[in-house]
Amino acid sequence: METLNPQSDWPSRRPLSLEPPAGASLPAMRPERSSAITLPEHLADLAVAALIDEADLSPKPGLVDRRSSGAHNDMTLSLMHASAMALWPCLRQMAEAAQDHGYIDQPLRGALGRIGREGEAAMLSVTAGVNTHRGAIWALGLLVAACALDPGAGAQVVAARAGRIALLDDPAAIAPDSHGNQVRRRYGASGAREQAQQGFPAVIEHGLPQLLRSRAAGASETHARLDALLAIMAALSDTCVLWRAGPQGLATVQQGARAVLDAGGSATLGGRRQLRQLEMQLLQLNASPGGAADLLAACLFLDFAGSL
């Protein structure tokens, strides 16, 4: 585990402005589907767009964004982009496997597990071993597969279907001594696996409703997405935070995220003050809400896919 070095001159340690940088473009809108591409290709396009929009979204507390590398000293924004793009073939193959198969069963689960592990290998080869998107491959892989099984379905149905896939055992899965598993043992916490198995409640009950509420209240797309991230952070048992900062750190992150929303959200002066304080706390804890970031990408994917 990393230790905080207050003397570090790494730019990510400095809390920077909480305003979107001058000249930053608005997040990309949903990529349109051209008649020349297949449904699995389109779903992979949407998932990669969601990953790139998540990485670009600024100012995110503790996470890699356009301003800095947050609490990470092994990742940059360009690495996140390269990693997201390297995942396109694996996401397309997961959607193809589901479309070809047509229903949920053990062989489909096995195929998705194999493709997911190949996707992780592709990610690690592009990033020279850095875990940029492990949790995102898991969440988005399940969601593209669920979407390919029934492209007209709404977000809640897609997420529930993804949960049914996640509930099946993958006989070929290796049980690594991952950070998530260690935190599960130490604190009895639930993590990425359970979140998927429950049908992504952090996205369906918190992230997506907040995205829609903030848009309806007139917030810009950037602020609506930041509010969605904060709503997920406030509700999630994020094993990335637990691993680096323990239960006390997780409580600080959840309460801090809730305080931004209670102050009116990221678009308001009061909310921005709270957000700045949360960012300083995360940097002091050397913690980053990586699980919430993955679920924001999942939320953006479901938002894009909603009108397929």
Ligand X SMILES: CC(C)(COP(=O)(O)OP(=O)(O)OC[C@H]1O[C@@H](n2cnc3c(N)ncnc32)[C@H](O)[C@@H]1O)[C@@H](O)C(=O)NCCC(=O)NCCS
Angle, vertex CA 104, rays to CA 89 and CA 166, nearest 5: 70
Residue 142 interacting entry, from ligand X, ligand ATP, none, C-beta within 5 to 8 Å by type: ligand X
Residue 63 interacting entry, from ligand X, ligand ATP, none, C-beta within 5 to 8 Å by type: ligand ATP
How many CB atoms are closer than 10 A to CB 194?
16
User: Is residue 191 near ligand X by the rule CB under 6 A?
Assistant: yes
- Site map 216..245 versus ligand ATP, x via CB under 6 A: ------------------------x--xx-
User: Is residue 266 near ligand ATP by the rule CB under 6 A?
Assistant: no
User: Is residue 147 near ligand ATP by the rule CB under 6 A?
Assistant: no
Rounded Cα gap, residues 284 and 105, in angstroms: 45
Angle, vertex CA 144, rays to CA 141 and CA 149, nearest 5: 125
- Site map 235..274 versus ligand X, x via CB under 6 A: -xxxxx----------------------------------
Asked if 230 and 257 touch (Cβ cutoff 8 Å), the reply is yes
Stretch that binds ligand ATP, among 10-18, 94-102, 131-139, 254-262 (CB under 6 A): 131-139
Backbone angles phi, psi at 300, to 5 degrees: -65, -40
Q: How many residues bind ligand ATP (CB under 6 A)?
A: 22
Nearer to ligand X by Cβ, of 232 and 260: the residue is 232
Rounded Cα gap, residues 81 and 101, in angstroms: 31
Burial (0-12, 13-18, 19+ Cβ within 10 Å), 177: exposed
**In sequence order, what are the residues at sequence separation of 6 or more whose Cβ sits closer than 8 angstroms to the Cβ of residue 251?**
none
User: Is residue 134 near ligand ATP by the rule CB under 6 A?
Assistant: yes
Compute CA distances 48 → 67, 103, 116, 185, whole Å.
21, 24, 15, 33
User: Is residue 181 near ligand ATP by the rule CB under 6 A?
Assistant: no
- Site map 267..296 versus ligand X, x via CB under 6 A: -----------------------xx--xx-
Stretch that binds ligand X, among 100-108, 136-144, 213-221, 254-262 (CB under 6 A): 136-144
Residue 271 interacting entry, from ligand X, ligand ATP, none, C-beta within 5 to 8 Å by type: none
Angle, vertex CA 14, rays to CA 10 and CA 19, nearest 5: 130
Q: Kindly list the residues in this chain that would bind ligand ATP in the complex (CB under 6 A).
A: 1, 54-55, 63-64, 72, 75, 80, 131-136, 179, 240, 243-244, 288, 290, 293-294
